[in-house]
Chains A and B, each alone.
Chain A
Amino acid sequence: MPGRRLGRWALLCCLLAPAAICRELDGAEIRLSEDCPPGYLEREGRCHLVSLYDQYASFTGQGGLRAALPPPARSYTAAQIDLGRYLFFDPLLSRERDMSCANCHRPALGFSDGQARAMGRDPAIPAGEPATGRLLPRNTPGLWNIGFFRLLSWDGKRTDLVAQSLAPVFAADEMNLDAGELARRLRQSAYGALLARAFGKDERYRTLPLVEQAAHALAAFQGSLVSLNSRYDYYVFGANDALSEQELRGLTLFRSFDTRCSECHTPPLFSNQQLATLGVPEPVGKPFDSGAQAVFGREDLRGAFRIPGLRNVALTAPYMHNGVFGQLEDVVKFYADGRGNSASPAEALKIHWHIVHPRLDPQQQGDLVAFLRALTDTSHMPRIPTSLPSGLSISAR
């Protein structure tokens, strides 16, 4: 199929070549990749994730240094993953065509946005008028390794990445489309054909409505954001000097019962995917966030949040559900200040039993931060498209 190949190369050229060539190619039909992204092995037409953690035997899928990860919930084809990449960067998915997922989940910032809290849109502004920002209640979480998570959002309100993927599209104060409008936009743009090509022959998803196929494509793409090749991982895989003395001291503190970090942020994902109340302070003027209480209707989960993974955490400042801590140093100091140090007495929170009174001097706090910084790996960074099936231009990177 020389024709198809040529198309693919044209696209790749477009990705790699200077802007002049890209402009020339802008009108060209977009071809979805036939190759699985880095980290995947193709088997029977689908991309299957491979990591060096697969070589370990472990009965819980977590804990210690060498545990096999539980497999991702679903597997997708190369084309489905690639289509999700376009959708993720395409502002077509927002009412004013000015906001894509990547506006908030920015690749260079660990797929978060560098803001304490995300900037959404004021839904009260009539269509067509210039959008006004509205500060959303929570911080934008990073998305590396999100495909392994079965508890999503800060408050744990979702369990499936597919369902999570369109929530911001439909949220009035975020991208603000409804399902009908999204379907119309997909059908009337090049996405109609691309979705048909990616899903039309796939028994699993063929019969789904366009909108749901798009949700799967987004989930497929986000699942490919895998970060398991940090210097910490090198140490796990047997490179005994991959971590510095200070980082090793940090690791020793991280897994000590004095701090209990690894009891909740359990490797290899650095999350055991449970809910926990920490008693994190709210920024001045922001009302208390009841977190998982509202989701599960349980008083004793008041102020509980999903334990976040810490991969690439050095890139995703500020921290916590409300972005109240600007730097990793502040987070570590929060733990070091001891159980309940910032919790409002009016709340009577049931703080998790693993939140204790560690004894961490300033050097040890620095050691922990150094260790957290060794969890950085973006080698599987996806290619950012330079042109989009909608014809719109990329609004953020």
Chain B
Amino acid sequence: MKRHPLLCLVLALLSPHAPAAVHTVSAGQSILAAVKQSAPGDTVRVMPGTYVETVYIDRDNITLQGVMVGGERPVLDGRNTLKDGILVAGDGVTVEHFLIRNYTANGLNLQGVNNFVVRHNIVQDTGIYAINPELSRNGLVAYNRISGVWDAAIYCGECMDVDILYNEAFGSVMGIESQTSQNVLIEGNYVHDNATGIAAFLIPGVSRKTTGNTVIRNNFVVHNNRANFAPPDSMPGLVPEGVGIAIAGYDEVTLEGNQINGNQSAGILLVDQATAFGSNFALDPAQDPTVNSARIYSNMLFGNGGEPLGLVAAYLADSGLPRGPDILDADPTSAGNCIYSKEAWFAVGVDHWSLCAQPTATAVASMRLAAPIAPRTWSDDQLGRNTWVAVCSACHNENGYLIGPPVARIQQDFVGAPEALAAWIAAPTRMNADFPPMPPQDYLPEKTRLAVARHVLGLQPKAAANTPPTAGSNVDESGN
């Protein structure tokens, strides 16, 4: 079918894919309300002011952008009573330029999100995690300043293809944690005054079973000597104090170019999962608990191990060493690990390690994907057919009477009028006395209703048709 250009223009103007809009939120208004007004592609700009709310973003491609005016930025403040600052479940979401503080659960949580960006935020005292992408893929967490949480300030849980760059993370139980993830670059961060600076942990009891390809490069990891203030019965309650970089059970971590100073237990600690978590938590039969294929290239390690605590102190007590090491592999079963030199640093437990061959990880520029993960798109035909099958076929079929009338009758009533059909199913009026009323299908977006309408009208009804059921008898089989 050939379309008239003018018609195309009219259609374009009427189409629901209006050009991206900008919604501005000012002090006294609700950010969530603005997000709910927005459509994919829109930007919500938030002016300075204090916003006491939990904002959830369940739509795709929304940019939530704080606007700094005269040195003031917008503040999301949970007043220590609200649980979460921002919850994201839409793909392609960006959150930037906010101050998020005083929440009890998370500052910013993203679950199951593709293509996310979190940058230039300050996050303070937000409970468990400050910035927490989990089960998420292809994202950037950069230029944030985060502090004061009792688990990890930045936590990448069961993630893939993520860059964590140029953040300052301090005053927390952990600064940055890559949890049971794959393809993570942690670079250029300033991580100080946590109990442990940077952690790569294989955590038991989650659905991901493997870890790998994680590069920790060019970070400043200094004075992570904070007392662990997590509840003692929690998982982070087991995180060691005074450790620069801790690796537990996690495979394929590469450490390169980090400045690791003044961490009082050890600069770098490697342990197996059982030693790290086994005292209080079940291990996972489907996970390999040892650290494998760690690579420690040149790093600046200085002044670590002066006053060892906890796990490291216990190890030293057993081994009679004078002070905490720069590098400690507490897991004699670890395998495939390599080190730049066994003599450059005070390295303990590395006898079974090899020396690293070149090349290093320097060539890795980013772990993010070259292009955003594309949404799966259904053609209108697929959308119509699949909606018919997934939704409507519960009550209608092509050749007989289910709970609703057969396709042939629908086709008769709406011949050549898909728009009318699409409108009718959103707000059904009574049509057939011999059937019960139909529940409104208004939850389906207009595009979907039109696609399914076209699909029904194009169906080939099968030959035979049974007789209409007598009133009432068609529902009693449903078990409800």
Quick check: is B257 within 8 A (CB to CB) of the other chain?
no
Closest residue of B by beta carbon distance from A102: B479
**Nearest Cβ on chain B to A37's Cβ, whole angstroms:** 8
- Evaluate whether A65 and B112 lie within 8 angstroms (CB atoms) in the complex, with A237-B443, A242-B443, A384-B479 already known: yes
B125 to chain A, nearest CB (A): 15
Interface size on A, residues (CB 8 A): 81
Chain A CB count within 10 A is highest, among B112, B469, B477, for B112
Chain A residues with CB under 8 A of B280: 350
Q: Evaluate contact between A258 and B445: CB separation under 8 angstroms.
A: no
- A274-B206 in contact (CB<8A): yes
| Cβ–Cβ contact B395 & A379, under 8 A | yes
- Other-chain residue from B58, B208, B377 in contact with A65 (beta carbon distance below 8 A): B58
Cβ contact within 8 Å between A240 and B207: no
- Among the listed stretches A54-62, A165-173, A209-217, which one makes contact with chain B, having 4 or more residues with CB under 8 Å of it? A54-62
Q: In the docked arrangement, what's the CA distance between A286 and B136, Å?
A: 42
Residue of A with least CB distance to B238: A353
Q: Residue B114 at the A interface, CB < 8 A? A: yes
Do residues A298 and B390 form an inter-chain contact, with CB atoms below 8 A?
A: no
- Minimum CB–CB distance from A105 to chain B (whole Å) comes to 11
**B283 close to A300 (CB less than 8 A):** yes
For window 168-182 of chain B, which residues contact chain A by CB distance below 8 Å?
none
Asked if B467 is at the interface (CB within 8 A of a chain A CB), the reply is yes
Listed residue (B111, B444, B480) with the most chain A CB atoms within 10 angstroms of its CB: B111
Most chain A Cβ neighbours within 10 Å, of B207, B285, B399: B207
Kindly list chain A residues whose C-beta atoms are within 8 Å of the C-beta of B281: 300, 350, 352-353
Please give me the residue from chain A that is nearest to B392 by CB atom: A38
**How many A-B pairs with Cβ below 8 Å?**
211
User: What secondary structure prevails in chain B residues at the interface with A?
Assistant: loop
The B-contacting residues of A in range 124-142, CB under 8 angstroms, are none
Of the candidates A54, A242, A381, the one whose C-beta lies within 8 Å of that of B386 is A54
Residues of A within 8 A of B466 (CB): 9, 12-13, 16
B111 and A262 contacting across the interface, CB-CB below 8 Å: yes
Q: Which of A183-191, A200-208, A248-256, A318-326 contacts B (4 or more CB under 8 A)?
A: A248-256
Q: In the complex the two chains form, what is the Cα distance from A205 to B282 in whole Å? A: 40
Q: Which of B373-427 contact A (CB under 8 A)?
A: 373-378, 383, 385-387, 389-391, 393-395, 397, 399-401
CB distance from A81 to the nearest CB of B (A): 14
Name B's A-contacting residues (CB within 8 A): 36, 54, 56, 58, 83-84, 87, 89-91, 104-106, 109-114, 127-129, 132, 134-137, 158, 160, 203, 205-208, 231, 233-235, 277-278, 280-283, 285, 373-378, 383, 385-387, 389-391, 393-395, 397, 399-401, 442-445, 448, 463-464, 466-467, 469-470, 473-474, 477-480
Can you report 13 A-B residue pairs in the complex whose CB atoms are below 8 A from each other?
Answer: A13-B466, A41-B386, A57-B375, A59-B114, A60-B112, A255-B111, A256-B87, A256-B106, A257-B128, A272-B206, A273-B207, A274-B206, A352-B281
Interface residues of A (CB under 8 A from B): 5, 9, 12-13, 15-18, 35, 38-41, 50-52, 54-60, 62-68, 106-108, 228-229, 231, 234-235, 237-240, 242, 252-253, 255-258, 262-263, 266-267, 272-277, 296, 298, 300-301, 304, 339-340, 350, 352-354, 356-357, 359, 378-381, 383-384, 386, 397
